[in-house]
Amino acid sequence: MNVNHTSTALFRFIIAKLIKFSKLFLRCIIIIIKRPIKFIMKYLTDEKLLIVGAGGMIGSNMAQTAIMMHLTPNICLYDPYAKGLEGVAEELLHCGFEGLNLTYTDDIETAFTGAKYIVSSGGAPRKAGMTREDLLKGNAQIAEDFGKNVRKYCPDVKHIVVIFNPADITGLVTLLYSGVKPSCVTTLAALDSTRLRSELAKYFSISPDKITNARTYGGHGEQMAVFESTTLVDGKPLKELIESKEIPEKDWEELKIRVIQGGKNIIDLRGRSSFQSPAYLSIEMIAAAMGGPSFKWPAGVYVNDKKFSHIMMAMETTINKDGVSFRQVDGTPEENAALEKSYQHLCALRDEVISLGIMPPVSEWSRLNPYMDEETR
């Protein structure tokens, strides 16, 4: 037997098999390259996401953001303004998104039935010269109806994000009338913290990425508590920069005003209230509730503990599939005083809504929602 001949034949056989395998492997790679969407289109859930107020600028941006983030293929758009809503739906369909089951309706029952996640911008918009609190009565009534619709058509909803102003109050009213657990409802409060981040980045002429843990707490309004003790500027504590005059106290106070009036500034510049930033942040919140990436900003949450009672306010929160939880914040004496002042302001707004007959007295809340008197954390 010729050993060399046998070895050569075996070698050729192995090479032939390797070439065949390589061709097959290459063919698979080509298929993947040609059809990437088939491999990356993975959703967080296939459950129904309802976007309320989808005919408006915020709602339509929320819809497109949710689609592009691949939260769920099943998205329903609701708005009472049927013509505008159809226009939004048509535009989204014209985008040519694959794998999308997009529906739209101006019928409340159709919209809410079966919804597991809801984001609502369905209130009246803030106009020039108005504060968030000016919207109080009208939007509180809208929130009451919204909560009742949740209770009637989708009581097993997993999470609701409320963003129409004043969000601390509209979220509270929604929670009360929906009957769901407090962990199921959050409100948009992150804009104040992102505006603080932006203003600090501009002041120090550095990338916003170098501003970390910028935080505001309490109300999403004129009485928010802007914290300095949590924030780092390029790794340096903001509090130390203020004390060392790298940012003089006067400049810091003026910067805080710009943060507080950030929404007003957008109206002055664009002639309309913010819509891109609230849309994006609210969808990030609902994504976290679906089990997606963690939401890294404060959110409005129902607080009822030894420090604050029966109120919705921005706290340090965690949002995940189990809902929202929070922890108490502890700043400097001045920051804690500002937070207490913000809380008292929110209580005054809450009590005003009660006086308008939109909500019953706090002592009667548990009759509408048995979870309202439970201690939260």
The tens place of each residue's pLDDT in the chain, 377 residues long, gives 454 555 666 656 666 655 666 666 666 555 555 554 444 568 999 999 999 999 999 999 999 999 999 999 999 999 999 999 999 999 999 999 999 999 999 999 999 999 999 999 998 876 667 665 677 889 999 999 999 999 999 999 999 999 999 999 999 999 999 999 999 999 999 999 999 999 999 999 999 999 999 999 999 888 899 999 999 999 999 999 999 999 999 999 999 999 999 988 998 899 888 899 999 999 999 999 999 999 999 999 999 999 999 999 999 999 999 999 999 999 999 999 999 999 999 999 999 999 999 999 999 999 999 999 999 98
Query: In whole angstroms, how large is the CA radius of gyration of the chain?
Result: 26
Q: Domain check: are 179 and 199 in the same one?
A: no
What pLDDT does residue 376 have? 93
Q: Domain check: are 270 and 341 in the same one?
A: yes
Q: Domain check: are 209 and 341 in the same one?
A: yes
* DSSP structure class, residue 124: P
CA distance 327 to 317: 7
Range of the domain at 169: 49-187
Residue 168 near residue 220, CB atoms below 8 Å: yes
Residue 132 near residue 126, CB atoms below 8 Å: yes
Helix (H) or strand (E) holding 28: helix 3-34
CA distance 196 to 187: 18
Q: Domain check: are 173 and 206 in the same one?
A: no
What pLDDT does residue 209 have? 98
Q: Is residue 40 part of a domain?
A: no
Q: Domain check: are 297 and 354 in the same one?
A: yes
What pLDDT does residue 29 have? 57
Extended beta strands in 188-277, E state: 211-212, 215-217, 225-227, 232-233, 236-237
Domain end marker among 144, 161, 187: 187
The closest of 310, 69, 62 to 162, measured between CA atoms, is 62
Residue 247 near residue 365, CB atoms below 8 Å: no
Please give the structure tokens belonging to residue 93.
């369909």
Please tell me the total count of domains within the chain: 2
Look at phi and psi of residue 291 and say left if phi exceeds 0, alpha if psi is from -120 to 50, else beta.
left
Distance between terminal CA atoms of the chain? 83
What pLDDT does residue 13 have? 60
Q: Is residue 173 part of a domain?
A: yes
Residue 75 near residue 67, CB atoms below 8 Å: yes
Q: Domain check: are 338 and 254 in the same one?
A: yes
Helix (H) or strand (E) holding 170: helix 167-178
Phi/psi at 155 (5° precision): -65, -15
Phi/psi at 350 (5° precision): -60, -45
CA distance 352 to 359: 9
As a dihedral over the C-alpha atoms of residue 252, residue 257, residue 258, residue 262, rounded to 10 degrees, the angle is 140
Q: Is residue 377 part of a domain?
A: no
Domain end marker among 138, 166, 187: 187
* DSSP structure class, residue 218: B
List, in sequence order, every residue forming a beta bridge with 215; answer none if it has no partner. 227
> How many CB atoms neighbour CB 47 within 10 A?
17
Angle between helices 333-355 and 136-153 (to 10 degrees): 80
Burial degree of 167 (CB within 10 A; 0-12, 13-18, 19+): buried
What pLDDT does residue 38 have? 43
Q: Domain check: are 152 and 204 in the same one?
A: no
CATH code, 75: 3.40.50.720
CA distance 280 to 102: 19
Q: Is residue 370 part of a domain?
A: no
Q: Domain check: are 132 and 202 in the same one?
A: no
Q: Domain check: are 220 and 340 in the same one?
A: yes
Q: Domain check: are 155 and 300 in the same one?
A: no
Please give the structure tokens belonging to residue 58.
């915020």
Q: Domain check: are 69 and 180 in the same one?
A: yes
Q: Is residue 38 part of a domain?
A: no
Burial degree of 151 (CB within 10 A; 0-12, 13-18, 19+): middle
Q: Is residue 276 part of a domain?
A: yes
* DSSP structure class, residue 358: S
CA distance 85 to 357: 32
Residue 229 near residue 199, CB atoms below 8 Å: no
Domain end marker among 148, 165, 187: 187
Q: Domain check: are 153 and 210 in the same one?
A: no
The closest of 127, 229, 129, 112 to 178, measured between CA atoms, is 112
